[in-house]
Amino acid sequence: MKKAYQKYLDHLQTKLGIVYEQEEKIELAAIWVSNCLQQGGYIYTSGTGHSHMFAEEIFYRAGGFARVVPILDEALMLHKDASYSTEVERREGYAAQILKDYAIGEKDIFIISSNSGRNTVSIEMAMIAKKKGAKVIVITNLKHTSSVDSRHESGKKLYEISDLYFDNGGEIGDAAVEIKGLEFKVGATSTVIGVSILQSIMVQATENLIHAGVMPEVFSSSNSDEGEEHNEALIHKYKGIIKGL
């Protein structure tokens, strides 16, 4: 009989197989990202609730691109009022209020992560980004999103609005491990798998740029002496342009 942690790791291995099945999409997304950066565009990224971690994952990160703009609205995150964030992510018009401060354009990529893909704010963000000409990439849970109704007036789910979407292969409700004696499953998988998808796109985009003869602007570790000096130059260049840097 396997222990709970072994069952969880088995689930992750299975779901990583689902990531491999989306190789063509990863390569296409990487082409879009590398083209975006070659053209002077930015990678905008957002997520509500726990999905805001995806925006932080590629922002100001060792080995990550400098031209990443995370949209981190406190009301949609968990550190201030977690239960309130659930209310806000369903609010019509809130996305437009947030995005009015961001100059999203045709050269840009907008990556939105949402496990359920049903809530109004993420759906409206995708709609606004597309209207402004940006390519929209979505990471979602197809099993979950197919089991629920959209909370947006259009009736659409997030993946239906995207230019390209990825399935994190998660369970309905995200948690994957059953433990005898407990009514609900434990062990969410969306973050681990979603980050694997996201970082796969970024590293392939980096290789694409190198092959094109373009040296990408990438942060190093600020905890190394050489990296700190390198990062300071990037921070000086983009401070005031990238919100939160």
Could you read off the pLDDT of 176-208 as tens digits, one per residue? 999 999 999 999 999 999 999 999 999 999 999
Task: Please write the tens of the pLDDT for every residue from 119-175.
Answer: 888 999 999 999 999 999 999 999 999 999 899 889 899 999 999 999 999 999 999
Q: Which domain holds residue 73?
A: 4-238
What is the reported pTM? 0.94
Evaluate whether residue 131 is within a structural domain. yes
Q: In percent, how much of the chain has pLDDT > 70?
A: 100
The confidence score (pLDDT) of residue 73 equals 79
What 8-state DSSP symbol labels residue 76?
G
Evaluate whether residue 93 is within a structural domain. yes
What is the domain-level CATH number for residue 77?
3.40.50.10490
Evaluate whether residue 179 is within a structural domain. yes
Evaluate whether residue 226 is within a structural domain. yes
SS3 183: coil
Whether 112 contacts 47, CB under 8 Å: yes
Evaluate if residue 215 carries a pLDDT over 90. Answer: yes
SS3 77: coil
Evaluate if residue 225 carries a pLDDT over 80. Answer: no
Evaluate whether residue 245 is within a structural domain. no
Q: How many domains, the chain?
A: 1
The confidence score (pLDDT) of residue 141 equals 94
Evaluate whether residue 244 is within a structural domain. no
Within 10 angstroms of residue 41's Cβ, the number of other Cβ atoms is 20
Evaluate whether residue 142 is within a structural domain. yes
The confidence score (pLDDT) of residue 52 equals 86
Evaluate whether residue 243 is within a structural domain. no
Size of the chain, expressed as the number of residues it contains:
245
Evaluate if residue 14 carries a pLDDT over 90. Answer: yes
Within 10 angstroms of residue 178's Cβ, the number of other Cβ atoms is 13
